[in-house]
Amino acid sequence: MQDLALFVDPTAPTPAYRQIVDQLRNYLVEGQLRPGEVLPGVRRLAIDLGVHFNTVAEAYRTLAQEGWLEVSQGKAVRVLDRAQPEPTTADVELGFRQRLRVLVTEMRGHGLSVETLSRELRAAAEGMKS
């Protein structure tokens, strides 16, 4: 695996496994982790991040359920060649819209301007075009 910067903020309200999932998924979506690449073992990554190995195992299981990783007992964790997902449903879009609104509201509460939020959303979306 290339040198990707993963970290866990123990003071964040987001569970540690979810922080790992979100960071890895971002690297996967942006193509920084490619099919066939090997990720660190559960125990190695847990030590590196300062978390319990079950936390990393849960993150890997979550990404495996989403079709991103191949996780097998006693074998290296590998990135899969994930097929394009099916088009989103109205429920998925509604869930996205609700999550995005919560995030925008939270960031506005921290003082980020509408212009900054808009710029960052555009940059994130542009960065994921392939």
User: What is the rounded average pLDDT of the residues 85-103?
Assistant: 83
Q: What percentage of the chain reaches a pLDDT higher than 70?
A: 92
8 Å CB contact between 80 and 91? no
20-53 CB burial, b ≥16 within 10 A, e <16: bbebbbebbeeeebeeeeebbebeebbeebebee
pLDDT at 1 over 60: no
CA pseudo-torsion sign 74, 76, 79, 82:
negative
DSSP 35: T
Residue 85 has pLDDT above 70, yes or no: no
Adjacent-strand bridge partners of 77: 39
Task: Map out the domains of the chain with their CATH numbers.
Answer: 16-79 (1.10.10.10), 90-127 (no CATH)
Q: What are phi and psi of 70, to 5 degrees?
A: -105, 115
Give residue 27's pLDDT band: very low, low, confident or very high (50, 70, 90): very high
- β pairing state of 38-39 and 69-70: unpaired
CB count within 10 Å of CB 68 equals 21
pLDDT of residue 126: 81
Q: Which two tokens stand for residue 3?
A: 């040198």
